[in-house]
Amino acid sequence: MPLAKVTSLVPPSGGAGVANGLSYEVLFRDGRPLVQGTGPPLFAFLMRDPAQYEWLLRSDLYSAALAFVRGDFDVRGDLISAIRFKKEIARGGLRDWVSSMRVRWVPRRIESWIQTRLRAARNVRFHYDRSNDFYRSFLDSRMVYSSADFNDSNQDIDDAQLAKLDHICGKLALQPGERFLDIGCGWGALIARAAEQYGVSASGCTLSPEQRSFAAKSIAEKHLERRVMVNECDYRSLTGRFNKIASIGMFEHVGRRRLREYFRKVFDLLEDDGLFLNRGIIRPEGAKDGPETLFLDERVFPGGELATLSTVTHEAGRAGFEVLEVENLRLHYALTCRRWVERLQKNRDKCLRYVELETYRTWLLYLAASAVNFQEGVTDLYQILMAKRRPSGLRFAGSAA
């Protein structure tokens, strides 16, 4: 993605220092408004009384997140700007320290070392088996739950997600008749696209019964049953050999200390002359677990962990891979999350037919906070193209997409 296109994805209202000179409102239940800053307010906090507003200003991020999810207060207007404001005024104190210690030392962090297949399935189902109809309410028409690839900030998300699928297929240089595997295939959009447009024999795996059911139905509707198969299984149970393999937004569930096992398994599944594309969220060097990590671990993605780029490439290399190409696509994920937030807000009533209010507010908060983190570089998105290392001979990456 050219640099000019990437930088154009940052919304005009974004940027650091939003707390300085930011205009917003505070609306109390008794009707009294409080206006902060000058100019049109970007958002409004809906608070019970001035005491609660003072609490919000002083509170740690974890406590504020829980209060929002419970509905103790609300935000009207640009939720993403409100979250950025709260993050900038948050001060590290005792509560933040306690939250950081909890996420680093609680028993669930044993998963950093050992994760059974049953536990992995429970973690995935906690997040993905909420309701297919709930996800349909804010995702694109193909149900792609990972970053889109935008040409510009005004592009329709359906077109941007289709561009992402073709980007991946192009980087892998998929050819008719090849065997293609998508590890963590979600609702099946990539394997369906790869079979329809690139002529491969595609397989996918997921630990979510809801995703597997949706994907199987979609594949049948497209009459692709002979060329596309979806298995409900742990990736560690996969057998066979594939010419091309993709893993999109899945390895965040693997855990930092299991990356070697993960890459070794993919290495064993890949043909000697094959290509592997790994695309996922990565944390910058030096980043530590904190209050936001605790909220995500408890409420959104239990068992999930983010690794640094150096750790990922190191473990991939130890498994026998060589890196052919690395792309940083984090601003595309910032815009994707913003679009999902907008669609959640627009379809609020529809979403509440399928999930409880706390679940809706949890997803709204986590996606809005993710948009902030991607935009500000707190989290990254890297797409890494790899192949099995060979001692001699030339090797070329897949065609540019």
Domain ranges of the chain: 3-91, 115-388
Cα–Cα distance measured from residue 248 to residue 232, given in angstroms and rounded to the nearest whole number? 17
Cα–Cα distance measured from residue 96 to residue 104, given in angstroms and rounded to the nearest whole number? 12
Structure tokens that stand for 78 in this block = 């640009």
- Smallest CA-to-CA distance from 386 within 341, 326, 344 is with 326
pLDDT at 104: 53
Cα–Cα distance measured from residue 44 to residue 33, given in angstroms and rounded to the nearest whole number? 10
Cα–Cα distance measured from residue 312 to residue 263, given in angstroms and rounded to the nearest whole number? 9
- Smallest CA-to-CA distance from 75 within 359, 364, 293, 291 is with 364
pLDDT at 4: 41
Q: So what's the architecture of 115-388 in CATH?
A: 3-Layer(aba) Sandwich (3.40)
pTM for the predicted model, two decimal places: 0.89
Neighbours of 142 (CB within 10 A): 19
| Residues paired with residue 277 on neighbouring β-strands, in sequence order | 246, 385
pLDDT at 14: 42
pLDDT at 38: 83
Q: Do domains 3-91 and 115-388 have the same CATH topology?
A: no
Annotate 237-255 with three-state secondary structure: HCCCCEEEEEEECCHHHCC
Q: So what's the architecture of 3-91 in CATH?
A: 2-Layer Sandwich (3.30)
Low-confidence ranges of the chain (pLDDT < 50): 2-4, 12-18, 94, 97, 99-101, 399-401
Give the torsion through C-alpha atoms of 136, 138, 207, 179, to 10 deg: 80
Structure tokens that stand for 151 in this block = 């040409």
- Smallest CA-to-CA distance from 139 within 374, 337, 279, 330 is with 337
